Amino acid sequence: MRIADRFDPNADIVLYEGDCLDLIAQIPENSIRLIVTSPPYNIGKPYETRLNLNEYISQQERIIKQCTRVLSDEGSICWQVGNYVSNSEIIPLDILLYPIFSSLGYHLRNRIVWYFGHGLHASKRFSGRYEVVLWFTKTNKYIFNLDPIRIPQKYPNKRHFKGPNKGKLSGNPLGKNPSDIWSIPNVKSNHVEKTIHPCQFPVELIERLVLSMTEERDWVLDPFMGVGSALIAAIIHGRKAIGAEIMPEYVAIAKDRIDLAEKGNLRIRPMERPVYDPENSGKSIPPKTITLENKEIQFSFFDNTLNHSSSGEKL
Ligand SMILES: C[S@@+](CC[C@H](N)C(=O)[O-])C[C@H]1O[C@@H](n2cnc3c(N)ncnc32)[C@H](O)[C@@H]1O
């Protein structure tokens, strides 16, 4: 894999240490198929200077405008955010950011609710257990491949009981649409992907977006890459990846993780692993060690569903 430290069209991965606006300025227009990121939430994490809310929104607007220049016409932009908190009041950032995307002509395709089971325990309100991914496309002609991200049907053997399809499977044997509510564990202390970063993406969250919204060898950009989780999700599926990060220690970790992936030693939580169920704790799927040669796509995990023809008959 060719890793560059500034934009290079011949590289496989670009890891830029510095401000995302400086990186985006190096990228040709209309060249990125997917931009996916979780920006700082302006809540005083170690890597951010807390701004007043209007300044924060203006700063985000400048970055989103530059992203628009580099996003391809068939491309998608996924902005993953939670809440800004002020005087114990929560302000959902997606509500504040939506008008920016809308004024730039974007089309909102989904507001994905990312639900997770762990976090701070609140005492004066309900504990917060979800964040959102706003998925916008630049135009009405966009890439969306559902098959690689289907999930198992609840009743895989359910059949039509009357009519011309009587006896045939009623659901798609490749699995069902994962819907817009995703239950995926967040990266807390005992998660196999945990690094020193306080709020990294679980790789599986981004794999779903990469597999459905891009093709092999497309560029995926994360302007706030942290420890490079989105880049890892991209390269393990044969996409090219670009990220910017201002904190040198996070860039170093991103490099180490990519290096481990190249050597076949990076462990991630597999997409097909169900959320922990105490009643079935012995049946959990263990962490997966990834290699970059073996670009698995999701439905290859479902051996039982692959043994069907497209008409639903078992082969
Ligand atoms: C919410 S975290 C993203 C973490 C990332 N999703 C991951 O999996 O590691 C936001 C990151 O943006 C970085 N950051 C803040 N301002 C930045 C800027 N102007 N340009 C590039 N990175 C920036 C922070 O240091 C932080 O690591």
Q: What is the pLDDT of residues 103-116, one digit of tens each?
A: 999 999 999 999 99
Question: For all residues of the chain together, what is the average pLDDT?
Answer: 89
- Has residue 57 got a pLDDT over 90? yes
Report the CATH number that the domain containing residue 253 is assigned in CATH: 3.40.50.150
Q: What is the pLDDT of residues 168-180, one digit of tens each?
A: 888 888 899 999 9
pLDDT, residue 304, reads: 36
Spatial distance between the Cα atoms of 216 and 210, rounded to a whole number of angstroms = 9
Q: Give residue 303's pLDDT band: very low, low, confident or very high (50, 70, 90).
A: very low
Spatial distance between the Cα atoms of 208 and 150, rounded to a whole number of angstroms = 9
pLDDT, residue 233, reads: 97
- Has residue 299 got a pLDDT over 60? no
User: Pick from 297, 292, 275: which is nearest to 284 by CA?
Assistant: 275
pLDDT, residue 33, reads: 98
Taking the CA of residue 222 as reference, the ligand 1 atom at the shortest distance is: 6
pLDDT mean over 227-245: 97
Range of the domain at 130: 3-306
Q: Give residue 294's pLDDT band: very low, low, confident or very high (50, 70, 90).
A: low
Could you tell me if 112 and 133 are in contact, meaning their C-beta atoms sit under 8 angstroms apart? yes
pLDDT, residue 43, reads: 75
Among 131-145, 267-281, 297-311, the minimum mean pLDDT is found in 297-311
Residue 313 lies in a domain: no
Q: Separation of 245 CA from ligand 1 center, angstroms?
A: 6
Taking the CA of residue 225 as reference, the ligand 1 atom at the shortest distance is: 5
Q: Separation of 60 CA from ligand 1 center, angstroms?
A: 12
Backbone angles phi, psi at 55, to 5 degrees: -65, -45
Residue 315 lies in a domain: no
- How far CA 20 is from CA of 200, 224, 242, in Å, comes to 17, 7, 10
In sequence order, the 6+-apart residues with CB closer than 8 A to the CB of 226 are 38, 197, 199, 200, 201, 245, 250, 254
- Has residue 152 got a pLDDT over 50? yes
Q: Whose CA is nearest to atom 8 of ligand 1?
A: 200
Site to probe by mutation for ligand 1, drawn from 194, 205, 224 as the one with most ligand atoms within 8 Å of Cβ, is 224
Taking the CA of residue 197 as reference, the ligand 1 atom at the shortest distance is: 9
Backbone angles phi, psi at 168, to 5 degrees: -85, 155
Q: Separation of 199 CA from ligand 1 center, angstroms?
A: 9
pLDDT, residue 295, reads: 52
Residue 195 lies in a domain: yes
pLDDT, residue 281, reads: 63
pLDDT mean over 167-194: 92
Tokens of 116: 């997770």
DSSP H stretches of helix in 77-173: 93-103
User: Pick from 227, 178, 306, 241: which is nearest to 3 by CA?
Assistant: 241
Residue 311 lies in a domain: no
Residue 314 lies in a domain: no
pLDDT, residue 41, reads: 79
Number of domains in the chain: 1
Q: Separation of 306 CA from ligand 1 center, angstroms?
A: 39
Residue 99 lies in a domain: yes
pLDDT, residue 289, reads: 86
- Has residue 96 got a pLDDT over 70? yes
- Has residue 292 got a pLDDT over 90? no
pLDDT, residue 245, reads: 98
**Ligand 1 site: residues with CB under 6 angstroms?**
19-20, 38, 40, 47-48, 197, 199-201, 224-227, 229, 244-247, 250
Q: Whose CA is nearest to atom 3 of ligand 1?
A: 226
Residue 130 lies in a domain: yes
Q: Separation of 275 CA from ligand 1 center, angstroms?
A: 27
DSSP annotation string for 8-72: -TT-SEEEEES-HHHHHHHSPTT-EEEEEE----SS--TT-----HHHHHHHHHHHHHHHHHHEE
Q: Separation of 304 CA from ligand 1 center, angstroms?
A: 40
Q: Give residue 149's pLDDT band: very low, low, confident or very high (50, 70, 90).
A: very high
- Has residue 137 got a pLDDT over 60? yes
Spatial distance between the Cα atoms of 238 and 233, rounded to a whole number of angstroms = 9
- Has residue 90 got a pLDDT over 90? yes
Percent of the chain whose predicted confidence (pLDDT) is above 70: 89
Q: Separation of 226 CA from ligand 1 center, angstroms?
A: 5
pLDDT mean over 20-38: 98
Q: Say which amino acid occupies 125.
A: R
Could you tell me if 185 and 191 are in contact, meaning their C-beta atoms sit under 8 angstroms apart? yes
Residue 83 lies in a domain: yes
Strand partners, 108: 136
Query: What element of type H or E holds 205?
Result: helix 203-213
